[in-house]
Structure 1
Amino acid sequence: MILTILKKGYYIVFLFVILYVMILMFTPDSILWKVYARTNVTYDDRQKECKSHPNLCSLSEGNLTGKTRQTTIKNVSDQFIHKHTINTNVEIYLRNYIQEHGVSKSCAKRRYLIYSCKKICGGLGDRQRGIITAFLFALLTNRTFIIDSTYPCELETIIEPNMYNWLHCKNYASNVPHDERMELQLIDNGKFKTTIPSLDFGNWEKTVVDMRLNWLAFSKIRQHNSTKELKLLKDISDEDVIKIVLDVLFKPNDRMTKAIDAFFMNTTHTGLVVCAHIRVGKNPSIPTDNTNSNRHPNITTVFSFLAKFDKPGNIIYIASDSDEIKNASTFFFKNIITIKKKIVHVDRIGSMQRNVACEGYYTAVLEQQILARCDTVILTASIFGSMAAFQRGRSDNLFVYNKQTNTVESANFHKLYGKGK
Structure 2
Amino acid sequence: MTANLLDFDLEGLAAFVESLGEKRFRATQLFRWIHQRGARDFGEMSDLAKSLRGKLATSARIEGLPVVAQHESADGTIKWLFDVGGGDAVEAVFIPEDDRGTLCVSSQAGCAVGCRFCSTGHQGFSRNLTTGEILAQLWFAEHFLRKHLKTEERVISNVVMMGMGEPLQNYAALVPALRAMLDDHGYGLSRRRVTVSTSGVVPMMDRLGGDCPVALAVSLHAPNDTLRDNLVPLNQKYPLAELLAACNRYLEHAPRDFITFEYCMLDGVNDTPEHARELVRLVKGRIACKLNLIPFNPFPQSGLTRSPHSRVLAFAKILSDAGIVTTVRKTRGDDIDAACGQLAGDVKDRTRVAERMARQRTVMLKPVPAAPAAKEG
Please give the TM-score of this superposition, normalised by the length of structure 1.
Answer: 0.24
Structure having the larger proportion of residues in helix: 1
Structure having the larger proportion of residues in strand: 2
In terms of Rg, which structure is larger?
Answer: 1
